[in-house]
Amino acid sequence: MAQAMRPNTAGGLFATDGKPHPLQDTLLAVTLVLGITAFVTAMFHNLHLLSSWAGLVGILTGAYGQWISETTRERFGLILGLGASAIGFFLGMAHGGLFGGLF
């Protein structure tokens, strides 16, 4: 009954494994920032270049982050960032695309 004597310090659903994951945390932060940027700028028609490029890079970093993620917390944040990046990317593409108006 040794497990009865140890407190559950890991927490609930978003528990980490107690090890540092600097690469995964960096990819999580970058994906979230790019996702928020792409989502917010997609609401403005004239910012389609920023929203489409931020969305595309956010999708790529989020996909790689999902591939190497190790904890549920990382995967949850990456899915949020991926969703926001995808919405920003698709709306940016609908408003003019990656190179719209440059050529």
pLDDT tens-digit readout, 12-65:
555 568 788 899 999 999 999 999 999 999 999 999 999 999 999 999 999 999
So what's the pLDDT on residue 83?
A: 97
The model's confidence at residue 5, banded by pLDDT at 50, 70 and 90, is low
Is the pLDDT at 6 greater than 90? The verdict is no
Give yes or no for a contact between 37 and 88, defined as CB atoms under 8 angstroms apart. Answer: yes
Q: What is the pLDDT of residue 10?
A: 54
Q: What is the pTM of this model?
A: 0.83
Q: Distance of CA 66 to CAs 18, 31, 103, Å?
A: 19, 11, 35
Q: Using an 8 Å Cβ cutoff, are 49 and 100 in contact? A: yes
Q: How far is CA 52 from CA 27, 41, 55, 57, 65, in A?
A: 19, 9, 5, 9, 20
State the pLDDT confidence band at 103, using cuts at 50, 70 and 90: low
pLDDT, tens digit, for every residue of 54-83? Answer: 999 999 999 999 999 999 899 999 999 999
Among 3, 7, 25, 33, CA closest to 71: 25
